[in-house]
């Protein structure tokens, strides 16, 4: 917001000053040029600062991932390791890394007043971090101020709408999935069809997946559509979506599907 105000202010000053010596055409050109210079210049400066913070977060998460992978390899090479204990340890390490990343995001707070969309972007990032930590209270607090351009963020929103039994999932899904194709759409169509099946709306889920086949060729979408078409509702499964599906925490992977693998 401040970027716009400052740019307009200097543009008007430049326009007023130039009007004393030039005609209206040149006055407008000079005012617009000064506005553009300040708008672009301030924007580039803020973006540079944000990129530095993002790079720090990526480094933090990357280092944490390396540490977790080393522990994972150590546990895998250790016979008789308790799977649940190992997972608990790795989740603890992951949550500590996410907490550190969340703390780093606050370095961006001072730039919120310069860009009215920035707060929404950072709120979305924090919401996704909190979701990974299963801190759903914070997730629900942040959701109203988030942007849903990322399919995973959209999936988190839909999952919380389902769990809390509030909001119009139909309309929200339709709005967000209109332009999605391929892998980006598979998670959302898989999620929404799963919700419909859970709500005893298998016929509606079948229609949804039949329509989805026009733009998605993901094996899980294809297989689930065939299962519903053949009345094998109990065999419906999104396990083929892998970590993307289980990261929604709507289902636990079956024992035979469990892998000691953690990835941010």
Q: Does the pTM exceed 0.95?
A: no
Other C-beta atoms closer than 10 Å to the C-beta of 257 total 11
Q: Which two tokens stand for residue 206?
A: 């079948």
Local structure of residue 229 (DSSP, 8 states): H
With b for 16 or more beta-carbon neighbours within 10 A and e for fewer, the 85-94 pattern comes to ebeeebeebb
180 sits in which H/E element: none
The per-residue pLDDT string of the chain (264 residues; one tens digit each, 9 = 90 and over) reads 666 777 777 677 876 787 777 778 878 888 788 778 877 888 888 888 888 988 998 888 888 888 888 877 877 777 766 777 777 888 888 899 999 999 999 999 998 888 878 999 999 999 999 999 999 999 999 999 999 999 999 999 999 999 999 889 999 999 988 877 777 789 999 999 999 999 999 999 999 999 998 888 899 999 999 999 999 999 999 999 999 999 999 998 875 444 444 455
Greatest C-alpha distance within the chain: 86
Q: Which two tokens stand for residue 252?
A: 């636990």
CB 6 within 8 A of CB 38: yes
* Backbone CA torsion sign across 52, 54, 58, 61: positive
Q: How far apart are CA 191 and CA 245, in angstroms?
A: 8
């Amino acid at each position: 917001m401040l970027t716009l105000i400052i740019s307009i202010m200097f543009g008007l000053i430049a326009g007023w000053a130039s009007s004393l010596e030039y005609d209206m055409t040149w006055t407008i050109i000079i005012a617009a040029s000064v506005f553009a210079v300040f708008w672009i210049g301030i924007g580039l400066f803020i973006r540079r600062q944000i990129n530095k913070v993002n790079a720090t977060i990526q480094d933090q998460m990357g280092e944490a991932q390396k540490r977790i992978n080393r522990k994972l390899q150590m546990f895998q090479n250790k016979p008789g390791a308790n799977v649940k204990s190992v997972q608990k340890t790795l989740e603890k390490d992951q949550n500590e890394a996410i907490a550190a990343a969340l703390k780093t995001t606050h370095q961006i707070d001072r730039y919120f007043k310069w860009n009215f969309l920035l707060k929404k972007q950072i709120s979305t990032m924090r919401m996704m971090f909190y979701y990974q930590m299963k801190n759903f209270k914070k997730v629900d607090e942040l959701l109203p101020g988030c942007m849903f351009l990322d399919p995973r963020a959209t999936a988190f929103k839909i999952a919380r709408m389902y769990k809390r039994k509030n909001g119009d999932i139909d309309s929200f899904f339709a709005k967000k999935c209109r332009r999605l194709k391929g892998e980006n759409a598979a998670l959302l169509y898989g999620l929404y069809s799963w919700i419909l099946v859970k709500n005893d709306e298998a016929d509606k889920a079948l229609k949804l997946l039949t329509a989805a086949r026009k733009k998605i060729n993901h094996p899980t979408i294809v297989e689930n559509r065939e299962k519903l078409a053949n009345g094998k509702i109990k065999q419906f499964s999104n396990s083929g979506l892998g970590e993307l599906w289980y990261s929604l925490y709507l289902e636990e992977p079956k024992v035979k599907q469990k892998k000691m693998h953690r990835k941010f």
